[in-house]
Amino acid sequence: SVTLYGRVDLSVGNLKDKVKNTSTTQMFQGGDGGLTTSRWGLRGTEDLGGGLKAAFKLENRFNADTGASQDPYFKGESSLSLTGGFGEVKLGRSTTVYDDVRALGQKFDVFDSAFTASSNGVFKGAGGDYASRFDNKISYYTPVMGGFYAGLDFAFDEDATKSADRHALKLGYKDKAFEIALAHQNEKDKGDKYTALAGSYDFGSFALSAVYNHRNGSAANGDDNEYALGVTVPVGAWSLSAGYAHAKTKKSTAGAKDGKAHGFALGATYALSKRTRLYAGYRDVVVKNAAGAKTKDERLYAVGVRHDF
Amino acid sequence: SVTLYGRVDLSVGNLKDKVKNTSTTQMFQGGDGGLTTSRWGLRGTEDLGGGLKAAFKLENRFNADTGASQDPYFKGESSLSLTGGFGEVKLGRSTTVYDDVRALGQKFDVFDSAFTASSNGVFKGAGGDYASRFDNKISYYTPVMGGFYAGLDFAFDEDATKSADRHALKLGYKDKAFEIALAHQNEKDKGDKYTALAGSYDFGSFALSAVYNHRNGSAANGDDNEYALGVTVPVGAWSLSAGYAHAKTKKSTAGAKDGKAHGFALGATYALSKRTRLYAGYRDVVVKNAAGAKTKDERLYAVGVRHDF
Amino acid sequence: SVTLYGRVDLSVGNLKDKVKNTSTTQMFQGGDGGLTTSRWGLRGTEDLGGGLKAAFKLENRFNADTGASQDPYFKGESSLSLTGGFGEVKLGRSTTVYDDVRALGQKFDVFDSAFTASSNGVFKGAGGDYASRFDNKISYYTPVMGGFYAGLDFAFDEDATKSADRHALKLGYKDKAFEIALAHQNEKDKGDKYTALAGSYDFGSFALSAVYNHRNGSAANGDDNEYALGVTVPVGAWSLSAGYAHAKTKKSTAGAKDGKAHGFALGATYALSKRTRLYAGYRDVVVKNAAGAKTKDERLYAVGVRHDF
């Protein structure tokens, strides 16, 4: 009734900061220069009869290069849910439905990894730093009905003195090869609203994913328009992928956060088994401010190994 | 030889502070507004032959609503013990025998949960904040002999410059339906001594538990007299419970901590299975100072779910 | 594919500081006054075919007397490795090959435990506080070929502004009863270089281990010459052991860290089973400064129990 699982991801590579003119060769924990952050967790389900199930998931994230736990302890997920014909109700900390849709838009974009340009530098560089997980969250996910599905998140602010609850919504459609979804996330405490449209299509010999995102931001943060595109080609035990991302920020107070960012990434994985992969990745990201000066010009490459257990 | 176990408890409810005049709707980790604090742990026993067994238990407590670990890491328990015909000797961190007796007195008092008025507000509000666990503890528990049992805790202060060891003792009797026990705990470092008499009786169609506690406190803290009573009624998969608690503090220096506290609680659980329960609870606690002014007037209610694995 | 394992070690004893003239009776977590630090971990291997294997190990260390986790979270080890006919390549945090050789030299020296005088007071007291584990490390271990083996560690400094990588090397030979190894460790960031020669011989009725270590230290730290010797005698379920260590520091700036240290230890374990041991240990260490005054004069004894799971 309880499954112990996890993943260790480590790589060696180089990060070049062309603005500061520094170059650092290092070992990366997966989340900084690999496929994914290392983790271990506990999960399980219980059949309650009548189609009803209880399920839990507790997932720690850690930096495998130093052995340090990330914070909070169960950063990845800390949830309890009831599932039935009605769908699923989940309580606790877990990814938002908006993040699910962002992940869909990066599904074939350099393995939705630390190399993926959109989420690592381009979108963040231009301001798109939405919360990927909510604490104190109650979620409802519909079953998939005729291909259609929806999900709703509501997170309590737990503050008697203000109204700063967070919420998110997704609507999607999927069949075997194709999926498209729309999501909206409102982080009242920050004054930022995010809207994303994402899709993926697996043509067999290759697969595509894309995402368009708009942030209706606070006066200080300004508004963003962002898009990303990725392609993955399987070749035997190899998987080759490339992605491009672009973002533009405008209307921030006095233009302080206005600017543009773009980046691209290349990656390859080689499956030693279902559970173990070798990989190499390359990412190049440039961020410019309103005056056109580079505030970030970063190049990362690394080779590594990822093992699931 | 090692068992991985745990519990996730989450609820949604409201906490109203009638002194500050605030009301907060929120998600509670079980320990703040549910049945119990969430936990995961490792435990095991080894048969050493000749009736001797070694056993260990390591239990982490965490806030399931945010994924944060409580501190210290194995807050619930971190112990190693040897068990035989002589009873059990246990080393490390674990609950005190005094806490065991307090738990007996709340056994049928709104599920000895976050809703139970005695331990949450009434006893604490009036000063009864004893240490429920000792670090650096060596304990001896007798076997149950003709229904009688005893237990002894000794915890090292580990300080060469003072004498501040802590100790506790319990004596009890139990049969199938009935249990009664007396306990004393001395926390030398605080200058507080606690004495509790507790009992429970399961009549089948309903069950009662009660506790009387006296704190012979330091001059600054004063003395407490506390009692609590609880009743639980099983009705099919339902379990209904109510409890009341009262406490009075006197003789603190200049009456600074003198006062009275009382509270009551109501709760219901519905068993979806042996391992999974839905629940609802209500708790109301009032604390008054020596002048009769309310220093705490709190009302909590929540509905939630608890799952064991 | 994943194994959950661990160890709990607790003891009760006394630490006497004859310089401060204090004596503290306390419970020790194993690492301070027992056989070993308590731990729990996850490990596993995957057969990748063609003689290739993937393996991981994640090991937390904790203080069993209080339940506190040591820091970083996976302090013991956080690694991923690939093993084959070529040997083993390991990434992450783990013990250095120099530490392996130091461990060889203490293999039969009071159980390479908290009682062992060399690593606890004598070598550290005189300055030999090398890093036993490296973060951000890539290691290569040869297979054992005709009894010979070698290992190499390289740890990235991950700092673009300086050159402070750490590295270590070992060369050894072993057969059934005998093992000898030479190691060198360079901690560029500290300016300290360590060289150790260690060996062990199991004669059956008794076993010996010994280590000689030289630190070519920074100007501030000075140079060390250290040696230790240990003997262990098995007698049925008992194991009796004794050890002696000596260290001398010289050439530190203005003699500030110059001095001598020596110490001895005695210990006994009784195996209740393969996994559970009772033990008793005694350690006496004296450290003198350049002027011959005692800066440390410490005596430890404890009795305890260790349980593996």
Q: Which of C65, C68, C309 sits opposite B1 (nearest CB)?
A: C309
Name the residue among A4, A10, A17 with its Cβ closest to that of C80.
A10
Chain B CA closest to residue C38? B78
The answer to whether residue B204 sits within a structural domain is yes
Per-residue pLDDT at C126? 47
pLDDT grade, residue C119 (50/70/90)? confident
A1 near C CB under 8 A: no
In a domain, B256, yes or no: yes
C9, C67, C273 ranked by CB distance to B73: nearest? C67
Distance CA C191, CA B130 (A): 51
Residue A124 has pLDDT above 90, yes or no: no
Secondary structure of residue B275 in the 3-state scheme: coil
Q: Does A273 contact C137 at a Cβ distance shorter than 8 Å? A: no
Q: How many domains does chain C have?
A: 1
pLDDT band at A236 (very low <50, low <70, confident <90, very high): very high
The pLDDT of residue C128 is above 70: no
Where do we find the tokens 């030479």? C182
Q: Is A123 helix (H, G, I), strand (E, B) or coil?
A: helix
Give yes or no for residue A213 having a pLDDT over 50. yes
Q: Which percentage of chain C shows pLDDT scores above 90? A: 89
CB contact under 8 A, A54 and B10: no
- Which CATH number belongs to the domain containing residue C239 in this structure? 2.40.160.10
Per-residue pLDDT tens digits for C133-192: 999 999 999 999 999 999 999 999 998 888 889 999 999 999 999 999 999 999 998 899
Q: Which of A40, A63, A273 sits opposite C46 (nearest CB)?
A: A273
Rounded Cα distance between C130 and C123, Å, is: 10
Which of C269, C62, C309 lies closest to B56 in space, CA to CA?
C309
Given this model, what pLDDT does residue B141 score?
Answer: 98
Report pLDDT digits (tens) over B181-209.
999 999 998 899 999 999 999 999 999 99
Q: What is the CA radius of gyration of chain C?
A: 20
A77 to chain B, closest Cα gap in Å:
7
B133-141/B259-271 β-pairing: unpaired
Asked, for residue B24, whether it belongs to a domain, the answer is: no
Query: Minimum mean pLDDT among A3-12, A169-178, A200-209, A251-260: which range?
Result: A251-260
Check CB contact under 8 Å for A78 and B69: no
Nearest CA distance, B161 vs chain C (angstrom): 8
Query: What DSSP element (H or E) covers A244?
Result: strand A238-250
Q: Is residue C191 part of a domain?
A: yes
**By the 8 A CB rule, do C170 and C141 touch?**
no
In terms of pLDDT, which residue wins out, B120 or B298?
Answer: B298
| Chain A, nearest residue to B21 by Cα | A160
Residue C305 within a domain: no
CB contact under 8 Å between A4 and C2, yes or no, is yes
In this prediction, residue B128 carries a pLDDT of 55
Asked whether B225 and B126 are in contact (CB, 8 A), the reply is: no
Residue A203 DSSP SS3? coil
Q: Which of C6, C22, C27 sits opposite B136 (nearest CB)?
A: C27
* Percent of chain B's residues with pLDDT above 90: 89
Instruction: Give burial (CB, 10 Å; 0-12/13-18/19+) of C263.
Output: buried
CA B229 to chain centre: 14
What is chain C's mean pLDDT, rounded?
95
Q: Which residue has the higher pLDDT, C160 or B254?
A: B254
Structural domain includes residue C8: no
- Confidence grade of residue A125 (pLDDT, cut at 50, 70, 90): low
The interface pTM score, or ipTM, of the predicted complex is 0.96
Window from B15-24, B158-167, B291-300 with minimum mean pLDDT: B158-167
Question: What is the pLDDT averaged over residues C63-83?
Answer: 98
pLDDT of residue C52: 97
Give A92 to chain C, closest Cα distance, Å: 23
- The values of phi and psi at residue A234, to 5°, are -85, 135
pLDDT tens-place string over residues C259-280:
999 999 999 999 999 999 999 9
Question: Taking residues C47-71, what's their average pLDDT?
Answer: 98
Mean pLDDT of C104-125: 90
Cβ distance A54 to B22 less than 8 Å, yes or no, reads no
**From A30, which residue of chain C is nearest by alpha-carbon distance?**
C92
Whole-number Å distance between alpha carbons of A304 and B38: 36
> Does residue C31 belong to any structural domain of this protein?
no
CB A149 within 8 A of CB A87: no
Residue B56 belongs to a domain = yes
DSSP 3-state assignment of A15?
A: strand
Burial B209-228 (b: 16+ CB within 10 A, else e): bbbebbbbbbeebbbbebbb
Structure confidence by residue, pLDDT tens digits, A127-177: 557 999 999 999 999 999 999 999 999 999 998 888 889 999 999 999 999
Is the pLDDT assigned to residue A91 strictly greater than 80? yes
Residue A46's domain comprises 3-308
pLDDT digits (tens, 9 = 90+) for C200-252: 999 999 999 999 999 999 998 899 999 999 999 999 999 999 999 999 999 99
Please tell me the predicted confidence (pLDDT) of residue B234: 98
**Per the CB < 8 Å rule, is C58 touching A40?**
yes
d(CA B153, CA B92): 11
